[in-house]
Amino acid sequence: MPDLSEYYQPQSLTAALELLAKSNGKLIPLAGGTDIVPAMGKGELKANGLVDLSKLSEIRRISMDDSEIKIGSLTTFAQIETSPLIQAKASLLADAAAAVGSPQIRTTGTIGGNIANASPAADTVTALVTLDAQARLDSIKGSRRVLVSELLCGVGKTNIHPQEIITEITFKIPSTGSKTGFIKLGRRKALAIARMNLAIIVTLDNGKISFARVGLGAVGPNPRRYPVLENSLVGQSPSESLIDEFAIEAEREVTRVLGSRPSAIYKCEAVKGIARDLLKKMFSDSGQGVV
């Protein structure tokens, strides 16, 4: 069992923020705990105390506002995976949430925790950066909004201040008629950490791709967008040859980013396989992934 001297379970967000403000960085916010608890058990993470956010139902909900989706940071992967709203408006995020761990982990783990943990392989984070999602951070001093991609600054590192909590994630709904998709490459079909993951959004105008977003995870220190890959899609028409060209472009990008790392040999080749699988699915006529 982790060694803990203090444990709080505030009943309101304000109470939670006050606790963090007073603690001088000694307390760590606890969401689903699926990363923090094992890390404390192994002694990899030391904390004087935890602020358990699980009672803050005010930040555990999904809603839509005009053209924007808002997801409370404590919303679980299972809630996102099964949300009709997310499935209809941003299926890449529903698919990414469904790819996390196992049913038990998805029932407990949260989207805010997935960002704060800053794993290079975080499945929903790849989908969120592809959506240009923003995180809202609250402290007793006020709140700010930051792009998820800018909040992450390395393996296990974020720009979240010790007295702040991620409270909400927002993103613009991709324009009507867009197609979105997510694919994960794991060592097995469940309970696997992503070797790589890929999220894509394309909008078609008169048979040509007018807008594209491409995010890759487990290549660099954090999942991020790859503008070179986005540009390789824009202006093109979906076709077998476009899939081939995109796969080769993806190989080039991953090669450039990974350089001579030991994992490069495998990942450069494998990215082509997942790129092909995902684009083939997205370019098919099935209604899957259509916004």
Partner 1 sequence: MKKRGYGLANMWYGIGNTANPNPSGAFVDFLDDGTAIVLTGCADIGQGSNTVLAQIAAETLGICIEDVVIISADTEVTPDAGASSASRQTYVSGNAVRLAAEKVRDQVIAIAAEILNLPTETVNLYQGEIWNSNESSGVSIKDIIIKCRSKGILTLGHGSYNPVTTMLDPETGKGIPYATYAFATQVAEVEVDTETGIVEVKQIVAAHDVGTAINPQNVEGQIEGGCAMGIGYALLEEVILKDGEIQNPGMSTYLIPTSLDVPEIHTIIIEESEISGPYGAKGVGEPALVPTAAAIANAVADALGIRIYDLPLTPERVVAALKSAQEDSKKV
Footprint of partner 1 (CB under 8 A): 102, 185, 187-192, 195, 247, 265-266, 269-270, 272-274, 276-277
Of residues 119 and 178, the one with the C-beta less far from partner 1: 119
Q: What letter represents residue 38's amino acid?
A: P
DSSP labels, 115-135: HHHT-TT-HHHHHHHHTT-EE
Task: Please give the Cα distance from 86 to 107 (Å, whole number).
Answer: 17
Of residues 165 and 243, the one with the C-beta less far from partner 1: 243
CB 272, min distance to partner 1, A: 4
The DSSP secondary-structure symbol of 75 reads: -
CB 102, min distance to partner 1, A: 8
Of residues 151 and 274, the one with the C-beta less far from partner 1: 274
CB 190, min distance to partner 1, A: 4
Of residues 155 and 191, the one with the C-beta less far from partner 1: 191
Task: Please give the Cα distance from 29 to 78 (Å, whole number).
Answer: 21
Task: Please give the Cα distance from 51 to 73 (Å, whole number).
Answer: 15
Task: Please give the Cα distance from 163 to 140 (Å, whole number).
Answer: 8
> Is residue 261 packed enough to be buried (19+ CB in 10 Å), middle (13-18) or exposed (0-12)?
exposed
CB 219, min distance to partner 1, A: 14
Of residues 5 and 189, the one with the C-beta less far from partner 1: 189
Task: Please give the Cα distance from 221 to 45 (Å, whole number).
Answer: 19
CB 248, min distance to partner 1, A: 11
Helix (H) / strand (E) containing 172:
strand 165-172
Of residues 117 and 158, the one with the C-beta less far from partner 1: 117
Task: Please give the Cα distance from 203 to 289 (Å, whole number).
Answer: 12
Of residues 19 and 243, the one with the C-beta less far from partner 1: 243
CB 213, min distance to partner 1, A: 22
Contacts of 126 by beta carbon, 8 Å cutoff, 6+ apart? 96, 182, 194, 197, 198, 199, 215, 216, 217, 223
CB 270, min distance to partner 1, A: 4
